[in-house]
Amino acid sequence: MKIKKKHQVDERIKLERQKIGNETCIFVLLMLLISAFVQQQIFKAPLSQYIVELAILLIASVYIIFRNIFSGNVNNKKPLIFVNCLVVSISATSLFVIQYIINGTVSERGLGSDILSFVVMFAVAMLGSLGAGLTFFFLNKKRTQKIEKKLDEDENSD
C-alpha cells in the first residue's frame, strides 16, 4: 500500500497566484468596458451588439462588491467613501459632457440649460454614489461586527 504525500504549497506562492488572478480579473473587466465603449462610440453599434459585455461587467462588479462586503474585506473609512463618490460623480459628468460634445447636440434653450443639465447630472451621480457607498459602508460595518463577535465568542469558549 502506497501512502500519498500531500503537496503543500507555500503561502507566498498562493498569495502570488491570487494576485495574478485578481489582476487578470481586473484586466478582463477593463477590456469588456473598453470593448463596449468602442462598439458604442466608434462603430456606432446598436445596444444589442454589446449588451452582453455590459451585462457581464455589471454582474462581475456586483459580485466582487458583495463578496468583499460579506467577507468583511472592505475598509471602514467614511472619508474614502466621499472621495469615491466625488470621483464617480466627476467621471459620470465627464462622460456625459464628452457624449454631448461628440454628438454635437445643443439644447434649444441655450448654453445655460446645458450647464444646468451638467450640474444636475453631477448632483444625481453624487447622491446615487453616496447612497450606494454609505449603504455598502453600513452593511460592511455590520458584517465586520458580526464576524468580530463570532471570533470573540470562539476565543472566549476556548
Domain ends where: 71, 90, 108? 71
Q: Which residues 6+ apart lie within 8 Å of 73 measured at CB?
A: none
91 and 62 assigned to the same domain: no
Contacts 24+ apart (CB under 8 A), 27-35: 29/57, 29/60, 29/61, 32/56, 32/57, 33/57
Of 49, 71, 93, the last residue of a domain is 71
In a domain, 4, yes or no: no
Long-range CB pairs of 1-4 (<8 Å, 24+ gap) are none
pTM, whole model, 2 decimals? Answer: 0.55
One digit per residue, pLDDT tens: the chain, 158 residues? 566 666 677 899 999 999 999 999 999 999 998 898 888 888 988 888 888 888 898 888 878 877 876 776 666 566 677 777 888 888 888 888 777 777 777 666 666 677 888 888 889 988 998 898 888 888 888 888 888 898 888 888 86
Helix (H, G, I), strand (E, B) or coil at 104: coil
Range of the domain at 16: 12-71
Q: How many domains does the chain have?
A: 2
Same domain, 105 and 150: yes
| 42 in the same domain as 97 | no
Residue 88 shares a structural domain with residue 67: no
| 31 found inside a domain | yes
In a domain, 7, yes or no: no
47 and 90 housed in the same domain = no
Query: Does residue 3 lie within any of the structural domains?
Result: no
What is the reported pLDDT for 140? Answer: 82
Residues 67 and 16 in one domain: yes
* 140 and 81 within one domain: yes
- 90 plus 106 within the same structural domain: yes
Residues 6+ apart with CB under 8 A from 107: 113, 114, 117
